[in-house]
Amino acid sequence: MNRKHTIPPRAARWLLLRFLRNDLAEEVEGDLEEKFFAELKHQSSFKAKINYWYQVFHYLRPFAIRKNKFTAIYYDMYQNYFRISWRGLLRQKMYSAIKIGGLAIGVAACFLISLYVNDELSYDKNFTGENGPYRLVVEAEIDNGKTGRTVDFPAPATAALKNDFPEVEQAGRYLSSALFGADENEIRRSDRNENQHESGFVYFDQELLELLNLPVIAGNAKYALTEPNSIVITKRKAEKYFPGEDAVGKTFIINNNKKLFKVGAVIDDFPANSHLQFDFLMTLSGVEFWPGEQSWWMASNYQIYLTLKPGTDIQKTADKIKWGFIEKYYKPALVASGAVGFEKILNTAKFELQPMNEIYLDGSVYDGLPHSDIRFIWLFGAIAVFIVIIAGINFVNLSTARSANRAKEVGLRKAIGSHTSHLIKQFLTESFLFSLLAIVAGIIMAWLLLPYFNMLASKSLTFPWTVWWLVPGMLASALIIGILAGLYPAFYLSSFKPVNVLKGSVSKGSKSSATRSALVVFQFTTSIVLIISTVVIYRQMNYMLNKKLGFEKDQVLLLQGANTLGDKIPAFKSELLKLSQVQSVSVSDYLPVRGSKRDGNTFYNEGMEKIERGVAAQKWVVDADYIKTLGMKLVSGRDFNPDMTSDSASIIINQTMAGQLNLENPVGKVIQNWQKYTIIGVVEDFHFESMKENITPVCFVVGMSPSMILVKLRSENMREAIAGISNVWNKFSPNQAVRFNFLDERYKATYADVERTGGIFTTFAILAIIVACLGLLGLSAFMVEQRSKEISIRMILGASVRNVFRLLTQNFVLLVLISFVIAAPIAWMLMSKWLQDFIYKTDITWDIFVISGSCALMVALITVSYQAIRAALANPVTNLRSE
């Protein structure tokens, strides 16, 4: 190898000379070359070259780098821009505060909404994998022509899935209906006496545990639910019931039953953004709710999740499952039961495999789970953007309005030799500075407001201090907002002609008043739309809360967990009736409030079960005092009579059910499901589900459903009544704390989502109008400043305060009126759309528009009039003295 002719790498030398100070070039190059040849003596030429590169990079030091003359100038200029901006900011405190404060509010709102939207979209991401899990969904005809999507399947469906379809890898079920003892229960450790009320009970397959990959903390994941009577609990419940102990292998008693549930495993809590929220997973192994239930295809109570083998086509598999189920199971079962007219329903049914991450956002499935509404997510996102735009408009408006004050500066800079492009840069720098300050302020504001926002949206969002994108994201959005908001003012201001400006002939900020007016109109249009929407949402909320429901929801106390009283219930009931504050008492788990216990049954007119399609109806097990306690009205027939033993085969139906059964005079007719019932009465239709749905058939039979006791109170002295009831309770059930709530509260809680939407709308409507008014305040202050001499002269010539006031406000009032004209139809369209969700709804009446419009007008007027009155009351001499 000829080392004599090896030379230092050219590229490295070129690089060195690119950045090295000229006066150092000779000596450094010499040193490095000497080093290179010294290295070459005892190393390979490759290593020597690498070393040369290394040395070059180590010359990247401040002392050695050439100072670029141009960068230095740019640097100085930017420094100057920043300094000028900063001075301007401090000098014009009010305008700066409006610009920055408004934008900060906008940014805070936008940030909070982004957090919210991000959280809503993050549901079940942790479950979702390439091959599932999927949820099995079926879309089928409910009544004539209408279809609905449900997730309920019969018990043997999972076994069928795994036996008949090789595409299915794993399949598991859960059952969460209170009808079968899931949902809410009284529970205690088997070595304690005190019952605790818990919710989040569910029956669960071992295989579902596995296919959902629920993280097992303690115990064996493979056998957690394989044994009959085993139970899996979450970490938080393990810590609650077995603090400091190993929960696995311990036993629970549920509802005072003799059966012991043994803890098979402890799993991690379900994350807050999961559509599944359970705490006690009871095994389905060895469970059969009635003889033959586990192999019966005619009762659908289970929700099914499954995973597929890799590379399986999802839709094809769903279709295959549908036809497989129908041909092999549904049809034979239906034929055997003698049902008629099912072919069309079966053939038109659609099966879907729904990916986990779509479940939460899809509210169209009847699954009893909380859902978000993708439309609202979009809507909130849009509101966030609009608020930022409104704040940005303030920025543009105030910058252009105050152009007169900057005109001389622009003229001077141009006269000295500044280019238009330099000025544009200067103004963009300035708006970047403003937007950066606003964003920092906005983020801090968002952080401070987060607890309130969590309450409003009933979320538990945390501030993402630690995420990597926070700072870069803030800078990027400062840059984007700064440029967008600064672009128009920058071009506008930099286009001034120096000669005109320095002569003093630039009209004082009035040139762009058309643009400014348009922007103000935009701001107020948005605000008014939000105000109208808020009013309509609250109207609907009020409508739902105050509508005549068909039962009395006030002063009904609900005692819960009474099932543990067992056969002492009649005694307990009569003891309660002895209290002077108690009007009547009824024992029933079925409440006319959404989210209570429900069931599904099909009823036929007597002897028609093979001829007509039955009527799907709720069958509520109540006692003889139910109708009386809830203040329902009988339109015909009589109430149950506790003294008549024949009433065990009697039934009371609602009007809708009578209509669907085609009964003109229902009383005395016989209907049947498994057994025959004689109709003894018809109750007036009452609302027991959401106002978003029609009232459906429901009927009452007498029986025992003892976990809830309804107590109707006389209106006086609630506290005394509660104390009395608690006393009685403690006498009967000393080991279980009394637990109660009120029917009207529960009813109200079922509309929490509407209330939440209302709360969020109110907040953002207020924010929007505050930001818009901030802008108006700035504009009016500016206008008064500009016209102060004119006003003074007018006043000297005899104008009254009222004249001046009108002069200064009429323009703004006109703008708000124009906004209202634009906003009203938009809001009307939006809210009609929203109300379409409800069957029972309030009307959008003209007074809503009047209230909202005058509200906006008032606020705008108050904002403007502060400045106007100040101007009108000012002493003309002070303004005119100087000329």
Q: Which residues contact residue 37 at a Cβ distance below 8 angstroms, ignoring those fewer than 6 apart? A: none
Nearest to other proteins of 30, 570 (CB atom):
30
Nearest to other proteins of 31, 720 (CB atom):
31
Closest distance to other proteins from the beta carbon of 7 (Å): 10
Q: Please pick, from the candidates 13, 35, 240, 508, the single residue that binds other proteins as defined by CB under 8 A.
A: 35
Q: Does 33 bind other proteins (CB under 8 A)?
A: yes
Q: Which stretch binds other proteins (CB under 8 A): 24-32, 379-387, 790-798, 814-822?
A: 24-32
Closest distance to other proteins from the beta carbon of 27 (Å): 4
Nearest to other proteins of 8, 442 (CB atom):
8
Q: Please pick, from the candidates 5, 18, 26, 69, the single residue that binds other proteins as defined by CB under 8 A.
A: 26
CB burial string 414-440: b at 16+ within 10 A, e below: beeebeeeebbbbbbbbbbbbbbbbbe
H helix or E strand, kind and range, residue 137: strand 134-141
Q: What is the rounded distance in angstroms from the CA atom of residue 784 to the CA atom of residue 780?
A: 6
Q: Does 27 bind other proteins (CB under 8 A)?
A: yes
Nearest to other proteins of 60, 858 (CB atom):
60
Q: Does 14 bind other proteins (CB under 8 A)?
A: no
Nearest to other proteins of 8, 561 (CB atom):
8
Q: Which stretch binds other proteins (CB under 8 A): 28-36, 544-552, 690-698, 777-785?
A: 28-36
Q: Does 53 bind other proteins (CB under 8 A)?
A: no
Q: Does 60 bind other proteins (CB under 8 A)?
A: yes
Nearest to other proteins of 34, 327 (CB atom):
34
Q: What is the rounded distance in angstroms from the CA atom of residue 117 to the CA atom of residue 386?
A: 15
DSSP 364: T
Q: Please pick, from the candidates 3, 11, 19, 38, the single residue that binds other proteins as defined by CB under 8 A.
A: 38
Nearest to other proteins of 33, 693 (CB atom):
33
In 772-837 the beta strands, taken as DSSP E runs, fall at none
Nearest to other proteins of 52, 360 (CB atom):
52
DSSP assignment string, 4-69: GG----HHHHHHHHHHB-HHHHHHHHHHHHHHHHHHHHHS-HHHHHHHHHHHHHTT-STTTBPPPH
Q: Which stretch binds other proteins (CB under 8 A): 51-59, 589-597, 722-730, 866-874?
A: 51-59
- Size of interface with other proteins, in residues (CB under 8 A): 21
Query: Which spans in 679-742 are helix H?
Result: 718-732
Q: Does 29 bind other proteins (CB under 8 A)?
A: yes
Q: What is the rounded distance in angstroms from the CA atom of residue 774 to the CA atom of residue 780?
A: 10
Q: Does 47 bind other proteins (CB under 8 A)?
A: no
Q: Does 31 bind other proteins (CB under 8 A)?
A: yes
Beta bridge partners of 322: none
Q: What is the rounded distance in angstroms from the CA atom of residue 412 to the CA atom of residue 686?
A: 78
**Joined tokens for residue 224:** 């957690």
Count other Cβ atoms within 10 Å, centred on residue 769: 24
Closest distance to other proteins from the beta carbon of 79 (Å): 24
Q: Please pick, from the candidates 28, 216, 221, 699, the single residue that binds other proteins as defined by CB under 8 A.
A: 28
Q: What is the rounded distance in angstroms from the CA atom of residue 266 to the CA atom of residue 235?
A: 6
Nearest to other proteins of 57, 323 (CB atom):
57
Q: Please pick, from the candidates 46, 63, 468, 469, the single residue that binds other proteins as defined by CB under 8 A.
A: 63
Q: Does 34 bind other proteins (CB under 8 A)?
A: yes
Q: Does 497 bind other proteins (CB under 8 A)?
A: no
SS3 586: strand
Q: What is the rounded distance in angstroms from the CA atom of residue 42 to the CA atom of residue 27?
A: 24
Q: What is the rounded distance in angstroms from the CA atom of residue 45 to the CA atom of residue 50?
A: 9
Nearest to other proteins of 5, 578 (CB atom):
5
**Joined tokens for residue 634:** 């009988």
Q: Which stretch binds other proteins (CB under 8 A): 30-38, 310-318, 419-427, 466-474?
A: 30-38
Q: Which stretch binds other proteins (CB under 8 A): 23-31, 460-468, 778-786, 868-876?
A: 23-31
Q: Does 55 bind other proteins (CB under 8 A)?
A: yes
Contact 276, 357 (CB under 8 A): no
Query: Left, alpha or beta for 152 (phi > 0: left; psi -120 to 50: alpha)?
Result: beta
Nearest to other proteins of 49, 322 (CB atom):
49
- The residue length of the chain stands at 883
Contact 203, 303 (CB under 8 A): no
Closest distance to other proteins from the beta carbon of 64 (Å): 7
Q: Which stretch binds other proteins (CB under 8 A): 34-42, 83-91, 566-574, 695-703?
A: 34-42
Q: Does 19 bind other proteins (CB under 8 A)?
A: no
In this structure, the strands spanning 153-154 and 300-308 are: antiparallel
Q: What is the rounded distance in angstroms from the CA atom of residue 422 to the CA atom of residue 206?
A: 70
DSSP assignment string, 823-838: HHHHHHHHHHHHHTT-
Closest distance to other proteins from the beta carbon of 219 (Å): 56
Q: Which stretch binds other proteins (CB under 8 A): 20-28, 280-288, 756-764, 841-849?
A: 20-28
Q: Does 59 bind other proteins (CB under 8 A)?
A: yes
Q: Which stretch binds other proteins (CB under 8 A): 50-58, 199-207, 571-579, 655-663?
A: 50-58
**Joined tokens for residue 628:** 């009386």
Contact 647, 701 (CB under 8 A): no
Q: Please pick, from the candidates 50, 64, 117, 345, the single residue that binds other proteins as defined by CB under 8 A.
A: 64
Nearest to other proteins of 57, 78 (CB atom):
57
Nearest to other proteins of 33, 785 (CB atom):
33
Nearest to other proteins of 19, 75 (CB atom):
19
Q: Please pick, from the candidates 14, 19, 54, 378, the single residue that binds other proteins as defined by CB under 8 A.
A: 54
Contact 404, 188 (CB under 8 A): no
Nearest to other proteins of 26, 883 (CB atom):
26
SS3 189: strand
Q: Position of tokens 């499935």?
A: 365
In 408-536 the beta strands, taken as DSSP E runs, fall at none
Q: Does 37 bind other proteins (CB under 8 A)?
A: yes
Q: Does 50 bind other proteins (CB under 8 A)?
A: no
Question: Of 503, 515, 479, 487, whose CA–CA distance to 495 is shortest?
Answer: 487
Q: Does 13 bind other proteins (CB under 8 A)?
A: no
**Joined tokens for residue 76:** 């100085």
Q: Please pick, from the candidates 3, 14, 19, 30, the single residue that binds other proteins as defined by CB under 8 A.
A: 30
DSSP assignment string, 61-93: STTTBPPPHHHHHHHHHHHHHHHHHHHHHHHSH
Q: Does 642 bind other proteins (CB under 8 A)?
A: no
Q: Does 563 bind other proteins (CB under 8 A)?
A: no
Contact 374, 361 (CB under 8 A): yes
H helix or E strand, kind and range, residue 683: strand 676-683
Question: Would you tell me which residues interact with other proteins (CB under 8 A)?
Answer: 26-35, 37-38, 54-55, 57-61, 63-64
